[in-house]
A and B are shown apart, each in its own frame.
Chain A
Amino acid sequence: MKAAVVVFPGSNCDRDVRVALEASMGRPPAMVWHAESTLPESDLIVLPGGFSYGDYLRSGAMAAHAPAMREVVARAKAGVPVLAICNGFQIATEAGLLPGLLMSNASLRFVCKDVHLRVEHSQSLFTDCFRAGQVVRMPVAHRDGNYFAEAEVLDALEDEDRIAFRYCTPAGELADGANPNGSIRSIAGIFNETRTVLGMMPHPERLADAELGGEDGKTMLDRIVAALG
């Protein structure tokens, strides 16, 4: 299996994803600089977290126009799985890979902490290591993670089983107190139509090592790698 991680100016979780993927794959993924107009052959493309272009205009807005992103969009349309984490999720929405957008957190403050996620749909490459309804723990770290989309879009996402994760309490209940950023309908991650693109604000690569306090992220990455051979 081959993986590629796209690195933008200002990406800062690219190394973290590389380390976690390498642990799962047994060898490192290709690191692709944003200015490249071609991508190496890949079974998985990762858009990592960080502050691409400082997130200065809108989060992800400028990175979405990077040369490498044209190729990412083309590959995604051809069915290559794309895992878009945090700033990567923001870039994916700006690039039109996923609907909706990520607004400023309701608190207007950056938030970094472990959150609980309820797995909403387990029939996808990214989530079939979990059961639907299972509660997992992963960290968030963002200032613009407040997912928003029009009601019709949200209804369609729900009808088509395209909501991957929702923020929840440790017992799996949805509650304002368990939603770290004010995301509409507590949405933490969504799929594209074919469930081959996953955008999520939480960072699976940050809890992929028992010494860091948890391994739910490792469970997810290991399964993706195993499924892609």
Chain B
Amino acid sequence: MSAPAAPAAPAQAEPAITAELVASHGLSDEEYARIEALLGRAPNFTELGIFSVMWSEHCSYKSSRIWLKTLPTEAPWVICGPGENAGIIDIGDGQAAVFKMESHNHPSYIEPYQGAATGVGGILRDIFTMGARPIANMNALRFGSPDEAKTRHLIAGVVAGIGGYGNCIGVPTVGGACEFHAAYDGNNLVNAMTVGVADAGRIFYSAAAGVGHSVVYAGSGTGRDGIHGATMASAEFASDSEAKRPTVQVGDPFTEKLVLEACLELMATDAIEAIQDMGAAGLTCSSVEMADKGGTGIELDLDRVPVRETDMTPYEIMLSESQERMLMVLKPGREEVAQRIFDKWQVDSAIIGRVTDSGRLVLKAGNAVVGDLPIRPLVDEAPVYERPYLEPAPRAPLAPADLPADPPPMQALARLVGSPDLCSKRWIWEQYDHMVMTDTVQRPGGDAAVVRVHGTDKRLAITTDCTPRYCVADPKLGGAQAVAEAWRNLSAVGAKPLAITDCLNFGSPEHPEVMGQFVGCVLGMGEACRALDFPVISGNVSFYNETNGHPILPTPTIGGVGLIAGSGRMATLAFKAADETVLLIGATEGHLGASLYLRDILGSEAGVPPPLDLAAERRNGDFVRGLIERGLVSACHDVADGGLLVALAEMALATCPAGEPIGVRIAPPAPADDAAPLAAWLFGEDQARYVVSAPAADVPTIMAAARAADVPAQAIGHTGGDALTLDGRGAISITELHRAHEGWLPDYMAAPI
């Protein structure tokens, strides 16, 4: 190919390319030199902007890519792994589940309502872009210390924003997680996940094929909002983050609802060749990725792009992150069909360009070429960094002697169930419409949310999980544990775990300690995914979650999806009747290191997390799922944060909304000299454990099955009464626990913001 000519100067004067301008675009000197070498000339202002967003951490995964490649992404039921808008799995009967999780952390700190709302809007678009109707939203939220002045304001705004968007568009928000730690002061996390269902034979991809075919823009007009959002998400906050405010985008869920319905209607007509939503880096990223995947080129006439502000420059049009916009390539002659459907739904649309065979992104405005870049290098030549990393020094295990005197267990239990992390999140999920679409068969508050696949008896179970205090103590173990816990939560409702999406939230990758956390977590995740046949099919990395050099806790959030077959049974965590036997499945040694009890009751974050035996994890989970399938258990709950006593309390607390609470009485093991202290048995967070309840008549069958499967199981007590009773160690009424559990969050949020 001959040396490319420089594009003509645009009508409006553009800034000259200086070292300062390059630096302000987040490009290093080496990166800029590479751009000049690739082009054989200096880029103009618009082209520089395009390179800066395409090569930003957010779009290029330049620091994470080599590590993400180590994750397993395949299984016989995986239809599409990472690389498209979302991952896809086969759920039988010619249907597919499409899902992904994405972060919107930085925008949600700057403007919590709009930041969270547009995060939900963006992930919804990723799903329906592929031809799937979104059927459920989930989220995982992390906030700073409740004592921090801004925390309350952030919770109120983020929760209202998530609800404001999901409720309006009419996709149920069926569950999530919300936890607190001072490490998130100044860097809250908003991870939003959407699950959709598509016909497996009618999935839409983004590869732009068909030279000469029309490139169509549909949705909201382009404004100046969000310019450089992608580079914002790739820079650490200094205290002057106020100055970055003009990049905030406003969400318009009503328009998105119309775009959603219009796109699904258009997809049913077979008019679409390829489609991509405009998310981070807007028109730039969508057009470049479509052409790159199709091995084609794209020519855009920027004068035809629907805009909602006057005098927008090519730079602004290409980099705008205005929401609710889609880009698609139509099959020839289908422009009118598309126009009619968009008009019906009152969605603005325009033909803004065509697919070419040039391998180049050519931008025209005012009859001049204002940008002309080779596509492949924008994507494939993006820098890849093997950042230096430091593995954290192993921590010393907790010795029993290190533990201060234990408070009475029932007192500790009441404090734990009323603590910020373990308290009821009802105040949050009652603000989300979790029932619209009338397929939510397990509402928020259980181990996993469960929604029916519309019109069938099949159900999808969905969960989001991560234990950051384990990840910071031992990244590899923490990464593996997050995957295992998601797998466990799906198993606990009776679902067969199928695949995960991940949202990897970390501090700056330029700090070797943080990079070490990232590497450890990813390696651990991969190990657990392989051991549990639980591949990663989509995901997102959010780096630079740190302020003034203080990174967040490493938080690799896992979104897991499982399937309950049409004939299969589902379990819930609430006890169903009195006088049933309560059994503990899985081995208990009493690991208090890095536990919630240690942190919230004894005031220490020391120790190593409980070990994870992935073979036992699989054995125990398969066993419990089998019990549920056979209808042998009446309730099931995994044992996680807070250990056994908290799990039992949660099973009793879940009976409260239905009327008279059902309590439980358990007998702790007889103390022996070498045994772990009672607190370790009650509150230790040993992994791969479940609590189930069953009618006494079924217990011999369960115990025999456990022996046959080599799974530890023991009867530890009985349901009944109106209290949680520990033989010889006191009791606490379920009503009192309920008050503590339901009280904290509403009381906290009632104080003035």
A residues near B (Cβ < 8 Å) are 9-10, 12-13, 15-16, 19-20, 33, 49-51, 53-56, 109-113, 139, 141, 143, 170, 203, 205-206, 208-209, 211-213
The interface centre, meaning the residue of A13, A55, A112, A203 with most chain B CB atoms within 10 A of its CB, is A112
Which of A51, A111, A143, A212 is in CB contact (< 8 Å) with B440?
A212
Instruction: Of the listed stretches B77-85, B89-97, B160-168, name the one at the interface; the rest are far from the partner chain.
Output: B160-168
Whether, in the assembled complex, B258 has its beta carbon less than 8 Å from a beta carbon of chain A, the answer is yes
Asked if A113 and B438 make an inter-chain contact with CB atoms under 8 angstroms apart, the answer reads no
B402 to chain A, nearest CB (A): 44
Asked if B167 and A110 make an inter-chain contact with CB atoms under 8 angstroms apart, the answer reads yes
CA distance A20 to B439 in the complex (A): 12
Asked if B163 and A209 make an inter-chain contact with CB atoms under 8 angstroms apart, the answer reads no
B573 to chain A, nearest CB (A): 15
A47 to chain B, nearest CB (A): 15
A52 to chain B, nearest CB (A): 9
Whether, in the assembled complex, B641 has its beta carbon less than 8 Å from a beta carbon of chain A, the answer is no
Asked if B257 and A141 make an inter-chain contact with CB atoms under 8 angstroms apart, the answer reads no
Which of A53, A143, A203, A212 is in CB contact (< 8 Å) with B254?
A53
The residues of A that contact B169 with a CB separation of less than 8 Å are 12
A137 to chain B, nearest CB (A): 11
New A-B contacts (14) at CB < 8 Å, excluding given A54-B168, A141-B167, A209-B438: A9-B346, A10-B168, A10-B254, A10-B257, A16-B436, A51-B253, A51-B257, A56-B254, A112-B430, A112-B433, A139-B435, A211-B441, A212-B435, A212-B441
Instruction: Name the CB-closest residue of A to B160.
Output: A109
Sampled A-B contacts (15; CB under 8 Å): A10-B254, A12-B170, A13-B170, A20-B438, A49-B436, A51-B254, A109-B431, A110-B164, A112-B433, A112-B435, A139-B435, A141-B433, A203-B435, A205-B438, A206-B436
CA distance A213 to B430 in the complex (A): 16
CA distance A205 to B170 in the complex (A): 15
Asked if A54 and B438 make an inter-chain contact with CB atoms under 8 angstroms apart, the answer reads no
Asked if A55 and B431 make an inter-chain contact with CB atoms under 8 angstroms apart, the answer reads no
A80 to chain B, nearest CB (A): 25
Asked if B345 and A9 make an inter-chain contact with CB atoms under 8 angstroms apart, the answer reads yes
The residues of A that contact B659 with a CB separation of less than 8 Å are 170
- The answer to whether A111 and B431 touch (CB under 8 A), given A16-B436, A54-B254, is yes
Whether, in the assembled complex, B437 has its beta carbon less than 8 Å from a beta carbon of chain A, the answer is yes
Residues 415-450 of B contacting A (Cβ, < 8 Å): 429-441, 443
Residues 120-138 of B contacting A (Cβ, < 8 Å): none
B178 to chain A, nearest CB (A): 16
Whether, in the assembled complex, B452 has its beta carbon less than 8 Å from a beta carbon of chain A, the answer is yes
Whether, in the assembled complex, B622 has its beta carbon less than 8 Å from a beta carbon of chain A, the answer is no
Which of B170, B345, B435, B440 is in CB contact (< 8 Å) with A50?
B170
Whether, in the assembled complex, B357 has its beta carbon less than 8 Å from a beta carbon of chain A, the answer is no
Asked if A19 and B438 make an inter-chain contact with CB atoms under 8 angstroms apart, the answer reads yes
The residues of A that contact B430 with a CB separation of less than 8 Å are 111-113
CA distance A211 to B452 in the complex (A): 10
Whether, in the assembled complex, B742 has its beta carbon less than 8 Å from a beta carbon of chain A, the answer is no
The residues of A that contact B391 with a CB separation of less than 8 Å are none
User: Which 10 A-B residue pairs are closest in the complex by CB-CB distance?
Assistant: A12-B170, A54-B254, A51-B168, A16-B438, A141-B433, A112-B433, A110-B431, A110-B163, A206-B435, A113-B430
- The answer to whether A110 and B257 touch (CB under 8 A), given A50-B170, A211-B441, is no
Asked if B438 and A206 make an inter-chain contact with CB atoms under 8 angstroms apart, the answer reads yes
Instruction: Name the CB-closest residue of B to A141.
Output: B433
Whether, in the assembled complex, B252 has its beta carbon less than 8 Å from a beta carbon of chain A, the answer is yes
A96 to chain B, nearest CB (A): 24
B348 to chain A, nearest CB (A): 14
CA distance A209 to B430 in the complex (A): 21
B163 to chain A, nearest CB (A): 5
CA distance A179 to B164 in the complex (A): 22
Mask, B268-290, CB within 8 Å of A = 1, is: 00000000000000000000000
Instruction: Name the CB-closest residue of B to A211.
Output: B441
The interface centre, meaning the residue of B254, B437, B438, B659 with most chain A CB atoms within 10 A of its CB, is B438
A65 to chain B, nearest CB (A): 15
The residues of A that contact B443 with a CB separation of less than 8 Å are 213
- The answer to whether A112 and B432 touch (CB under 8 A), given A10-B254, A51-B167, is yes
B246 to chain A, nearest CB (A): 24
CA distance A13 to B258 in the complex (A): 14
Asked if A110 and B433 make an inter-chain contact with CB atoms under 8 angstroms apart, the answer reads yes
CA distance A16 to B455 in the complex (A): 12
The residues of B that contact A113 with a CB separation of less than 8 Å are 430
CA distance A19 to B659 in the complex (A): 30
Which of A16, A20, A56, A111 is in CB contact (< 8 Å) with B437?
A16
Asked if B433 and A54 make an inter-chain contact with CB atoms under 8 angstroms apart, the answer reads no
Asked if B254 and A12 make an inter-chain contact with CB atoms under 8 angstroms apart, the answer reads no
Instruction: Name the CB-closest residue of B to A108.
Output: B160
CA distance A170 to B656 in the complex (A): 13
CA distance A121 to B170 in the complex (A): 32
CA distance A13 to B436 in the complex (A): 7
Instruction: Name the CB-closest residue of B to A54.
Output: B254
B122 to chain A, nearest CB (A): 18
A222 to chain B, nearest CB (A): 16
The residues of A that contact B255 with a CB separation of less than 8 Å are 54
The residues of B that contact A55 with a CB separation of less than 8 Å are 168
Instruction: Name the CB-closest residue of A to B437.
Output: A16
The residues of A that contact B167 with a CB separation of less than 8 Å are 51, 110, 112, 141, 143
CA distance A154 to B439 in the complex (A): 37
Residues 584-598 of B contacting A (Cβ, < 8 Å): none
B753 to chain A, nearest CB (A): 12
Mask, B152-187, CB within 8 Å of A = 1, is: 000000001001100111100000000000000000
CA distance A10 to B168 in the complex (A): 7
Instruction: Name the CB-closest residue of B to A217.
Output: B438
CA distance A16 to B636 in the complex (A): 30
Mask, B513-554, CB within 8 Å of A = 1, is: 000000000000000000000000000000000000000000
CA distance A20 to B436 in the complex (A): 13
CA distance A170 to B657 in the complex (A): 11
CA distance A44 to B229 in the complex (A): 50
CA distance A211 to B344 in the complex (A): 36
CA distance A12 to B440 in the complex (A): 15
The residues of B that contact A212 with a CB separation of less than 8 Å are 435, 438-441
CA distance A101 to B533 in the complex (A): 55
The residues of B that contact A213 with a CB separation of less than 8 Å are 443
CA distance A9 to B253 in the complex (A): 12
Instruction: Name the CB-closest residue of B to A20.
Output: B438
The residues of B that contact A51 with a CB separation of less than 8 Å are 167-168, 170, 253-254, 257
Instruction: Name the CB-closest residue of A to B429.
Output: A112
The residues of B that contact A15 with a CB separation of less than 8 Å are 437
Residues 694-712 of B contacting A (Cβ, < 8 Å): none
The residues of B that contact A54 with a CB separation of less than 8 Å are 168, 252-255, 257
The residues of B that contact A9 with a CB separation of less than 8 Å are 254, 257-258, 345-346
The residues of B that contact A112 with a CB separation of less than 8 Å are 167, 429-435
The interface centre, meaning the residue of A9, A170, A203 with most chain B CB atoms within 10 A of its CB, is A9
Instruction: Name the CB-closest residue of A to B443.
Output: A213
A114 to chain B, nearest CB (A): 8
A6 to chain B, nearest CB (A): 16
The residues of B that contact A139 with a CB separation of less than 8 Å are 435
B238 to chain A, nearest CB (A): 34
CA distance A11 to B440 in the complex (A): 19
B255 to chain A, nearest CB (A): 8
CA distance A179 to B253 in the complex (A): 28
